[in-house]
């Protein structure tokens, strides 16, 4: 058994007792104030527990020791100092934030019908966008607070000039385990090598139709072959697992479900069918247009033998299936029919420096102006911790009081 601790301002939190091997530290949660007699009592208890744990897991001793400076906990001197994930960025529902989605631009060269309107644009002014240095600084603070994965997105992230430079900066940050990119793939193929060399670990490419004419109709972009070439290049460079995002919309592309499964098998990659969400600029979403997971599985049943794959961690958005007798995988991302908010581990940073605690948030928290006004790292840390505590329990799609967010996916960062 080990002890997991976090601290926040004048409070120290014991977040749970659990096995080191399991990542489940959610057995018990209680809070105590520093410098009270109650705390002194707890502190004694903690000290004896920590010292008795010393020989069992020196990583824990090192971790608790690190906390001592910020929370005035007295503990044993560290024997070793390997990285122990802090557990500070937790919300009120005990969900730990480990994933940060960073939108680097709100611009896009596609006009996907389920995302943007073909009429008019209102892009953010250049000076309102976070610079790469600002993103790097915030990412470092998020990593200090326990985030381990960063996904770059947009808008179309490849439209941001020299994105490779940002990838290089982020990949050098301590504590980052996974640096991914979501792109429409329009010119990924000829920059893929540079991204890989800069430290990109994975890529997800969106593709909503395997039919050239339909692809053009959905996206307004003519060069379908560019996207296929990008997928191919990502495979060659082993930016694995290469994932392809396909938003299914009834009456638009739901007749391509089996074609996409064959594509996943032939190309040995993961095609993720995503339910259409009410976050489109045109507000054309209706529940009837959502193709559910059970419909997808029914459609695939006659032709494919699908074996469910266990989730690697609870916060994974996709339910995955291996295609038996071949290669490739299918993923189902079902935020509408089977919401996964209970295990959400994500926060978003918009291109203009707002924190969004949920894709469907109706409020945003401005971190850019704080940073530009001279906030220290410690002040920003406190701000992020308090912002995460405001994370919504879940989206309210399907509830009578549901209000769609005022910005569409391309402005928020999908
Ligand atoms: N431009 C890049 C792309 O398309 O991959 C990255 C940004 S895009 C907003 C990220 C993902 O959000 C894409 O896979 C896109 O298909 C998805 N998306 C956008 N609008 C959506 C909607 N209304 N419902 C479901 N997924 C949506
Ligand atoms: Fe652009 Fe991506 Fe939105 Fe399509 S889904 S319009 S590519 S941001």
* Spatial contact of 306 and 265, defined as CB atoms under 8 Å apart: no
Q: Which atom of ligand 2 is nearest to the CA of 219?
A: 4
Say whether 212 sits in a helix, a strand or coil.
Answer: helix
- What is the rounded average pLDDT of the residues 11-30? 34
| The model's pTM | 0.81
Q: Is there an atom of ligand 2 within 6 Å of 405 CB?
A: no
Q: Which atom of ligand 1 is nearest to the CA of 409?
A: 9
Model confidence at 91, pLDDT cuts 50, 70, 90, reads very high
> Which positions ≥6 away from 274 have C-beta within 8 Å?
245, 246, 247, 248, 333, 335
pLDDT for res 175: 96
Ligand 1 mean position, distance from CA 228 (Å): 17
pLDDT for res 117: 85
pLDDT tops 60 at residue 157: yes
pLDDT in tens, 170-224: 999 999 999 999 999 999 999 999 999 999 999 999 999 999 999 999 999 988 9
Q: Could you tell me whether strands 149-153 and 270-275 are parallel, antiparallel, or unpaired per DSSP bridges?
A: unpaired
Q: Is there an atom of ligand 2 within 6 Å of 349 CB?
A: no
Model confidence at 87, pLDDT cuts 50, 70, 90, reads low
pLDDT tops 90 at residue 138: yes
Residue of 104, 105, 106, 108 with the most ligand 2 atoms within 8 Å of its CB, for mutation: 108
Model confidence at 27, pLDDT cuts 50, 70, 90, reads very low
pLDDT in tens, 303-324: 999 999 998 888 999 999 999 8
User: By percentage, how much of the chain surpasses pLDDT 90?
Assistant: 68
* Spatial contact of 150 and 182, defined as CB atoms under 8 Å apart: no
Structure tokens at 320: 């995955």
* Whole-number average pLDDT of the chain: 83
Domain 99-359+383-412 in CATH 3.40.50.300: no
pLDDT in tens, 357-411: 999 999 999 999 999 999 999 999 999 999 999 999 999 888 888 888 877 787 7
Structure tokens at 362: 């109706």
Q: Which atom of ligand 2 is nearest to the CA of 184?
A: 7
Q: Where are the domains of the chain?
A: 4-80, 99-359+383-412
pLDDT tops 80 at residue 300: yes
pLDDT for res 271: 98
* Spatial contact of 219 and 248, defined as CB atoms under 8 Å apart: no
Q: Is there an atom of ligand 1 within 6 Å of 410 CB?
A: yes
Q: Is there an atom of ligand 1 within 6 Å of 219 CB?
A: no
Model confidence at 63, pLDDT cuts 50, 70, 90, reads very low
Ligand 1 mean position, distance from CA 409 (Å): 6
Model confidence at 86, pLDDT cuts 50, 70, 90, reads low
Packed helices 257-267 and 293-300: angle between N→C axes, nearest 10 degrees: 70
pLDDT tops 80 at residue 42: no
Greater confidence, 21 or 341?
Answer: 341
Greater confidence, 48 or 241?
Answer: 241
Q: Is there an atom of ligand 2 within 6 Å of 110 CB?
A: yes
* Spatial contact of 149 and 99, defined as CB atoms under 8 Å apart: yes
pLDDT for res 222: 87
Residue of 182, 183, 411 with the most ligand 1 atoms within 8 Å of its CB, for mutation: 182
Distances (CA, A) of 2 to 8, 18, 21, 25, 276: 20, 6, 10, 9, 43
pLDDT for res 6: 41
Residue 374 falls in which region: left (phi positive, over 0), alpha (psi -120 to 50) or beta: left
Q: Is there an atom of ligand 2 within 6 Å of 257 CB?
A: no
């Amino acid at each position: 058994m080990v002890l997991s601790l976090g601290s926040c301002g004048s409070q120290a939190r014991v977040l749970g007792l659990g096995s080191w091997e399991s990542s489940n530290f959610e057995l018990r949660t209680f809070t105590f104030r520093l410098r009270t007699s109650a705390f002194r009592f707890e502190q004694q208890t903690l000290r004896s527990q920590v010292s008795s744990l010393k020989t069992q897991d020196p990583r824990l001793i090192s971790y608790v020791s690190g906390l001592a400076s910020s929370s005035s906990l007295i503990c044993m001197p560290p024997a070793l100092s390997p990285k122990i994930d802090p557990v500070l960025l937790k919300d009120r529902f005990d969900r730990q934030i480990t994933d940060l989605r960073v939108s680097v631009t709100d611009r896009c060269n596609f006009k996907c019908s389920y995302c943007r309107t073909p009429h008019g644009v209102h892009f953010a002014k250049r000076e309102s966008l976070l610079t790469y240095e600002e993103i790097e600084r915030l990412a470092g603070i998020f990593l200090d607070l326990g985030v381990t994965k960063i996904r770059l997105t947009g808008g179309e992230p490849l439209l941001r000039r020299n994105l490779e430079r940002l990838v290089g900066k982020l990949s050098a940050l301590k504590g980052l385990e996974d640096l991914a990119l979501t792109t429409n793939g329009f010119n990924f193929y000829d920059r893929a090598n540079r991204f890989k060399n800069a430290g990109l670990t994975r890529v997800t490419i969106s593709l909503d139709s395997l039919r050239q004419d339909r692809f053009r109709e959905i996206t307004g972009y003519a060069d379908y072959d560019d996207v296929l070439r990008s997928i191919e290049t990502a495979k060659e460079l082993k930016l694995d697992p290469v994932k392809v995002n396909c938003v299914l919309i009834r009456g638009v592309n739901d007749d391509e479900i089996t074609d996409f499964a064959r594509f996943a098998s032939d190309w040995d990659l993961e095609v993720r069918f995503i339910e259409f969400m009410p976050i489109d600029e045109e507000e054309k979403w209706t529940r009837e247009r959502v193709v559910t997971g059970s419909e997808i599985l029914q459609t695939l049943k006659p032709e494919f033998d699908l074996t469910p794959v266990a989730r690697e961690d609870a916060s994974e958005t996709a339910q995955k299936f291996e295609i038996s007798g071949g290669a490739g995988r299918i993923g189902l991302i079902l935020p509408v029919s089977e919401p996964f908010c209970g295990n959400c581990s994500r926060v978003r940073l918009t291109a203009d420096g707002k924190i969004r605690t949920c894709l469907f948030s109706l409020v945003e928290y401005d971190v850019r102006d704080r940073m530009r006004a001279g906030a220290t790292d410690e002040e920003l840390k406190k701000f992020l911790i308090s912002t995460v505590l405001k994370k919504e329990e879940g989206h309210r799609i399907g509830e009578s009081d549901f209000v769609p967010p005022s910005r569409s996916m391309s402005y928020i960062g999908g």
